[in-house]
Amino acid sequence: MNILCLHGPNLNMLGQRQPEVYGTTTLLEIDDGLIELGQSLGVQVRCAQSNHEGELIDWIQQARGRVDGLLINPAGYTHTSVALRDAIIALDVPTIEVHISNVYKREPFRHKSLLADVCVGRLMGFGASGYKLALQGLVGLLQADPPRTPT
């Protein structure tokens, strides 16, 4: 089973940027933890981060037919990107939207996700450990309803 984890804009600054909101865990630590957890669950996890919407969309399109599930923290694109939403729909695999902070405890503009209804679930407010919770949930969903095509 193959899982793609994508991180959106500014997440490369984790551990340095607004630690009172995002904590002190770095993106590399998150990715390493996901890969390690994936190995223990018997799945391969590949992680990537970009500050560019088009690059995230390209990666999603390239993953079509190659991944069984997607974890995505779209960051600021959560609230603005119809194009990212369309790419997730076209990918046609279970997707979980992840946020480090609880977006409902933040500015009102962060309360609207353009991706929420095309994802099987959303996980937010658990800090960096939310990624691992999301991976466990996604793998559980995939094991309960295995992909129809082998990857």
| Residue 53, pLDDT above cutoff 50 | yes
- Higher-pLDDT residue of 65, 18: 65
The residues assigned a catalytic role are 22, 99
Pairing verdict, β 44-49 and 69-73: unpaired
Q: How confident is the model at residue 79 (pLDDT cuts 50, 70, 90)?
A: confident
In a domain, 150, yes or no: no
- Condensed to tens digits (0 to 9), the pLDDT of residues 89-135 reads 999 999 999 999 887 666 676 778 999 999 999 999 999 999 999 99
Cα distance between residue 89 and residue 66, in whole Å:
15
Which CATH number is 38's domain given?
3.40.50.9100
pLDDT of residue 34: 98
Name the amino acid, one letter, at 35: I
In a domain, 42, yes or no: yes
In a domain, 151, yes or no: no
In a domain, 27, yes or no: yes
In a domain, 149, yes or no: no
Cα distance between residue 77 and residue 98, in whole Å:
12
Residues 6 or more apart from 108 whose CB is under 8 A from it? none
Expressed as residue numbers, the domain containing 131 is 2-144
In a domain, 44, yes or no: yes
Q: How many domains does the chain have?
A: 1
Q: What's this model's pTM, rounded to 2 decimal places?
A: 0.90
